[in-house]
Structure formats: C-alpha cells, structure tokens
Structure 1
Amino acid sequence: MINEMNRIDESGTWHDAIAGFTEVSASSTTATRPNIFRIAGFPRRETVSSNVLAYFFDPDEDHGLKDMMIKALLRTIHKEDMDVSDVSVSTEVSTDKNNRIDILLDLPELSIVIENKVDSGLYNDLADYHCWAKEHSGNEAIVVVLHPFPFDNFALADHPSAQGLVVEQDLFDVLYDDLFRNALGMLGEYSLDANPRAVDLLQQFIDNYSPERKQKKMDNTSTDITQFVSQANGIEQQLVNVRKSFEKYTEAVHSKLHTVHEDLISRWEEESPVNGKSVTLADNWEWPKRYKPFYNQYYAQSFKLENPGSGDMGRVITCEFFFNIEFNDGYVSSDPEYGSFNTIWYKAYWGGLGTNQKPEVRITKPYHQILDAKLEGSNEDIKNAVEEAIERTLKTCWNI
C-alpha cells in the first residue's frame, strides 16, 4: 500500500486528497505577528521587561497613552482614587542597603515600589524597599510584586522578605495578565491620541509576556496538529507530492517575474514609461526580500511626475505586479478570491516606498486586477502587459 502511494502523483489524485480538507477555524489560523522581543533575542529578559514597563508607566513619555498604564496598575490593586497628576518614574534605584528597586513610581500621595519577576524566584528584601521608599518620598509607600505566574510553594504574606508588610494593604501580588487586562480595557479611550507605534509596541509586549496569550496559542497549535493529522490520514504521500510541486511552481514564478522586473527597471532607467513626459523612476523593490516557498513575491515601481508645481510625494504613483498567493506586507494585503495559478495580478496606489499606503490612496478599481498576460506566456508578453497597465495608470491619474 505504501509503495503504491509513493507512485501516485496525478493531478486528479491530488484533487481528491485536497478536496477532503475543511476550512480551518479562524481562531487557529491567526498569523504570528512580528515581535521585537523575540526577534532581538530577549523574550524573557527581566531588565528589558522593567524598562518597557517603566516607559509605559511614565505619562510624560512619547507613547501618547498618558496615564493609562499607571491607572491600570492602580485599578488592579484597587487604588483608583490616587492622584496621578504628577508622576516620577525611575528604574534600578539603590536603597541604603544597596538593594536595587526594579521600578519606582512616585505619585503625589504614594510611592509604589515594583519588584518585577519574570522567571526567577523571589529573594528580594521587600521590607527594605518599602522602608526606603517611604523615608525618601515622605509619603505612604507600597510594594507590588509583579510576575507572570502564581508563585509555587509559598504565599507572599509568609515570605521572609515581607516581614512587617501586610498583603492588600502595603504589599500586593499582581499577575501580568491582571495588569494587561485592565490596560487593554482602557486602551480604547486612550488610543486616539496615542502614538500608533507605541500602541503596537505595547501589544507586542503583551504578546510576549502574557501567559494567557501564550496558552491560547499553544491550544491553537494543538488543535491545528490534531486537525491536520486527522484529515491527512491515509493520503500523506499525495500531500507531500502536492507541496513539492507547489514549491517548484513558486520558485519558477519567482525567477521568471524577477527577470521581468529587472529588465523593466533597466528600460525605465533609460527612458520614461510614458513617452514624451518627464516621468522618472522613484523607487523599485521586491517583497519579501528573502524568498520563501508559499510566500508571495510582488514587484513594485514608484514613478514621479517631474513637473513644476506638481507637489511633493503626493505626486508619486506606485504600481505592483504579483502572482496568485496570499500576502500581507503590513501596509496592503492581497487575498484574491478568483484567478488561477496562471494569473498575474496588478494594482496601483498613490504614494511610494516610505510614504503612506492606506486604502484611501488606492488607484486601480477594483484594487487587484488581472494583468493581460499569463504566467505561461513569454517574458516579452509579460513585460508588454505590465508596461501597458502602467502607462494606462499614469496617463489616467496625471491626465497626460
């Protein structure tokens, strides 16, 4: 039976094998977002976590979220009535005993010491932190132990370092997810004035340090494996053959369109794509830079009309062509619902590399259009079809 399956590679058999698959639920197909903490190689670094938290706790920082994070913390420990009109944030503060406080928040009426624990156990002198903060601020002080998971083997009230401190009075045990839940609950009212990059950084931070989100991803992963194993049972070799054939297809298309792209760039660098007009090539690129099977590859050219009084980057038009695989570059996405693997797609929008690429700057309608050439066609036919589409777009938009 196995040998017979190894010889099967007819397209009809592939169709029968794939037809048995059902659509995977949306909850388990959520793409993994890029995460700076994982990429940089410190997904569990405690000092990194403390610095990021301190950044968001400081209302005067450039994140634009103002006092959202510190209010989320106060809500978590049931001290919402505290004055946050003047907040000072410090990290790595030394006490008189040379112990170091991870994060110190000084409010008008209260000093908050945060002992941030990511992976290590609790061995810090919490009583010293509390005493030092109270003496140096002249206010009441509390200690917050912030950590991802409940502590094993002991209760915070019984810990030797907490002598003299009373839980829920001047000592608080806070889980990351409790803080995150309150912060996300307040994000809507703060996000309009916030820096979008800071909001994304906060989301990445939560993705990286939230046990609840990590568990959900693990649950989804198990579901994905179970579903695939169940549906692939008995047709393993057919699916392997499909994958290998599809990889060959994507590699071949990548090579062909890359050649077309480079030929057009060389041509446009010497002469305008619209005869008789001062249209220059502003940018050209491919995405993604690192080719991977099953990833789309698109090829883009930005053109600028060199005309007195024509304005700045608002006079830039970008045209792209790509083949029939889903992609998302963070600005625009493609998920064509029609077309075939012989289809070349085309789209155009106002703006270029480094400029805004939002839906309102779309030019082509519908946005994704089928190019008047097939992937099976000659390179010259594809180049001619791309040039005709670009010339049509430029003449229409610039009225030339």
Structure 2
Amino acid sequence: MINEINGINASDTWHDAIAVFTEVPASSTEATRPNIFRIAGFPRRETVSSNVLAYFFDPAEGHGLKDLMLKALLRTIHKEDMDVSDVSVSTEASTGKNNRIDILLDLPDISIAIENKVDAGLYNDLADYRSWAAEQSNNDSAIVIVLHPFNKFVLKDHPSARGLVVGQDLFDVHYDELFRNALGMLGEYSLDADPRSVDLLQQFIDNYSPERKQKKMDNTAADITQFVLQANGIEQQLVNVRQSFEKYTEAARSKLQTVHADLISRWAEESPVKGKSVTLADNWEWPKRHKPFNNQYYAQSFKLENPGSGDGDRIITCEFFFNIEFNDGYVVSDPKSGSFNTIWYKAYWGGRNPNQKPEVRITNPYNQTLDAKLTKSNEDIKNAVEAAVERTLKTCWNI
C-alpha cells in the first residue's frame, strides 16, 4: 500500500527521510567570531603579523598591556629576568648587507632580532641579523629568535643557523608557546589595559594560533562525519528538501515583493493613515543579495515620516518579513513561535540601518506575527500590513 501524506505520494517526497533524520548533539565547533585579520583579507600576511607583534612587544604603546608580550617572549626562551625598563622596537630593520630584520627589540641587557615566519620557509642569514643587532645594542649582546607556526621545525644544523648556537644566541619559538605564556599572564595585565587592545590580541591569537586552527579543523571533520552518517541512504531526499525550501523562499520573496510594490503604489495616492499626511520617505528590501537556503530573514521595509506631526525628523521604519527562523542582528527568533506560513512584522524609530537597541523599538514584542498567512491572498496580506502600519503610526504620532 502506498503511503500518502496530505494526499501526496510519500515515496516521491522527502517526508519520511526527514522523519528518520534523528537529532544528534551538535559538535563543539564554536560560531565563527568576527576577526579583523580575516575580514581585511590578510589572515596569513607576514608583515601584518610582524607589525601587530611589534605593537604588543612595545610597552610604550597605547594598548595598556605594558610588557606582557615582551615578558611572555622572554619567558619562552627562559630569559624572564632580563631588564625591560627601557625598550626600543622597530620593524624591517635593514642590516649592512641589506637584509631585513622583521622585528628588532633593543633592551638594556640584550638586543633581539626576530625572524617571523608565517608560511614561507627559512632561508635568512641569521648570523648577519645577530651581528647587526649586536652593533646596534649598548652592550654588544644579541640573540636571534625564529618565531614560527610549524610543528616539525628543526633549527639545529639548518643552513640559516650557521655561525650561531641553538640555545645560546639562536632560539626557535612556536607561536603557540608565545601565546600560551601571554594568555597565562593576561589576567594580571588586563585590568589596566585598553579593552579594544585585549580584544585585538585575542583576535590575533585566534587567527595565527596553529593549535586553535587545528581544533577548528578537528571539529569541522567531526561535523562532516556526523552529517555523512546521518544522511547515508537518503542523500537524494535531502537534496530534494533543499530544492523545495529554495523554491519556497523564492516564491515567498516574490510574493512579498509584489505586496510591497502594490502598497507603495497605493500609498502614493492615499496615506496609510486615513486623512493624515504621511510621507513614504524610503523603501527597501533586505538583504539585497538573497541566498534562499542560507538566509532565514528577508524583509520588505518602509521608512515613513509625518511632516505635520510636530516630531521634526522623527522617522518610523516598518518591516514585514518571513520565515520560521531569523536573526536580524538585533533579535533572534524562537523557531517554535512561528511556522513557514508566518509573516512577521516589526517597527522602530529611525531610518535605514539604525542601531536597533531596545530604546528605539516600537512593536512589543519586537518581532511579532502579522494577522495574515503567506498562503493568504495578496490582498489579505496587504490589508494586514496596512492595518499594522496604521496602528503603529497612530500610536507613535498620537494621530
């Protein structure tokens, strides 16, 4: 006997496949946090890394972390007793042989030439670095540190190490060694530090720490394995789910666009508040570039102003949008509070892209369901939107 669901042949749908797609605990993968290095497009740029490190190595900079990173570096090479009362920091220091030292630290007791490696191999004349650093110091004492993210890095007998002795005037420091020491000391320094600098340091560590990157890769692998196991045998049905959902979102988007355009046309002839002067100052849809399956929030918006209200430039924005789940950057929905047939509505003070803090929100609850379903006619939806807008404007402008 062929099983039918709401009159649809279930063997041709994905209903049963979804029903057996059991819920399993999510992996420990954390949501991707904003990171200035990735956003700016230089997550692995060596010069950027060197400049940021030089900033934090300099106790005189405005970060407020004082000698935290410098002490962390010295602790890594077991020279934590060095005097750091007077420090000079420079980058791209040119030697007499026209070699460039990534970071040069001049301390009262010693000068430190740092060769910072992010991706490239080691091919530098480290002996020249040490000689130049010693010449620039007040006491002719200098060492070279190779800072790197490589787990199988061997400095001993390396061609670049000729003329230097590992552990005496040449040291290799792994990024994560430096970061662990810095984070271990951060608590005692952070109270006096600029919070933005602390956050920048955390972002720098997130971006350049091989240990943290590996953890994310491990979690990613676990997510892939989990999905593959869950989807085994029902791959085509899951593809059908995605395609069906994309069709739904595109159809709903098209329907709300039509409703929005009709309301604009209607309001051009008559105000949404009968007998009152209300101007449609602007209108837009969000987001402009719509990716149906990835985006769960699609809105049509109106920016309205009432020149005769006495409120000056007090502007109200009203939005109506779909679907079951959304995160507009200000409020995250509870999927249980709506359905794929729900149209949402909200209103707030201000025009496009305001900071929608609680004090500017008008509707309460902020995101609320409209008195019409997506499956209703366009005219029913237009009437529901218009009624919600009218209620909002009458309340806020006392008209």
TM range (shorter): 0.7 to 0.9
Aligned in 2, Cα 1:28/1:11: closer, same or farther, shift over 3 Å? Answer: farther
Change (3 A) 1:122 1:331: farther
Q: Which amino acid aligns with 1:245?
A: S
Separation in 2, partners of 1:226, 1:326: 26
Distance 2:270 2:67 in 1: 56
Q: C-alpha separation between the residues in 2 aligned to 1:256 and 1:79?
A: 69
Instruction: Specify the SS of the correspondent of 1:17.
Output: helix
Higher mean Cα deviation, 232-241 or 356-365?
Answer: 356-365
User: TM-score, normalization: structure 2?
Assistant: 0.77
Q: So what's the TM-score if we normalise by structure 1?
A: 0.77
Judge which range, 258-267 or 115-124, deviates more: 258-267
Shift of 1:103: 2.0
Q: Any idea what SS the aligned residue of 2:321 has?
A: strand
Task: Indicate if the aligned counterparts of 1:326 and 1:335 stay in contact, CA closer than 8 A.
Answer: yes
Cross-structure match for 1:14: 14
Which amino acid letter does the alignment assign opposite residue 49 of structure 2?
A: S
AA at the equivalent of 1:92: E
Matched letter for residue 286 of structure 2? W
Number of the residue aligned with 2:383: 384
Task: In structure 2, give the amino acid aligned to 1:117.
Answer: K
2:348 pairs with 1:345: no
Hey, what does 2:3 align to over in structure 1?
none
Give 1:53's aligned residue: 53
Deviation at 1:298, TM superposition (A): 2.7
Instruction: Give the drift of 1:99.
Output: 0.9
In 1, Cα distance between equivalents of 2:320 and 2:193: 36
User: Which digits, 9 at most, give the CA deviation of each residue in 1:210-232, with x for residues without a partner?
Assistant: 22232222222222222222222
Paired residue type of 1:287: W
Map of 2:144 onto structure 1:
143
Q: Cα deviations across residues 71-124 of structure 1 (Å, max 9, x unaligned)?
A: 544454455566666654432211112110112234565543221111222121
Superposed displacement of residue 129, structure 1: 1.7
User: Contact 1:28/1:223 (CA < 8 Å) preserved in 2?
Assistant: no
Q: Which residue of 2 aligns with 1:175?
A: 174
Q: Deviations over 1:242-278 (max 9, x none)?
A: 2211110011112222333444456667876556777
Q: Counterpart in 2 of 1:120?
A: 120
- Could you tell me the percent identity over the aligned residues? 79
Change (3 A) 1:257 1:126: same
In the alignment, is the contact (CA less than 8 A) between 1:191 and 1:199 conserved in 2?
Answer: no
Q: Is the 8 A contact 2:318 2:346 kept in 1?
A: yes
| Structure 1 residue 292: Cα displacement | 1.0
1:341 is displaced (CA, Å) by 0.3
Which structure 1 residue ranges, 5 or more long, are not aligned?
Answer: 1-7
Q: Which letter maps to 1:219? A: D
The 1:89/1:21 distance shift into structure 2, 3 A limit, reads farther
User: Does the CA-based 8 Å contact 1:62-1:195 persist in structure 2?
Assistant: no
Amino acid at match of 1:94: S
1:347-387 alpha-carbon deviations (Å, 9 max, x no partner): 34455545433456544333321111111123333233233
Question: Tell me, what secondary structure is at the counterpart of 1:286?
Answer: strand
Opposite residue 388 of structure 1, the aligned amino acid is A
Report the secondary structure of 2:365's partner residue. coil
Letter matched to residue 144 of structure 2: V
Q: Which residue of 1 aligns with 2:367?
A: 368
1:131 aligns with 2:131: yes
In structure 2, C-alpha distance between the alignment counterparts of 1:151 and 1:126, rounded to whole Å: 20
Is 2:301 the partner of 1:291?
Answer: no
Count of residue pairs the alignment pairs up: 388
Map of 1:218 onto structure 2: 217
In 2: Cα distance, 1:267 partner to 1:111 partner: 75
What is the RMSD computed on CA atoms of the aligned residues?
4.0
Q: Give structure 2 stretches of 5+ with no counterpart.
A: 1-7
* Separation in 2, partners of 1:144, 1:267: 72
Quote the Cα distance in structure 2 between the aligned partners of 1:303 and 1:111.
65
Using the alignment, how far apart are the partners of 1:64 and 1:337 within structure 2? 46
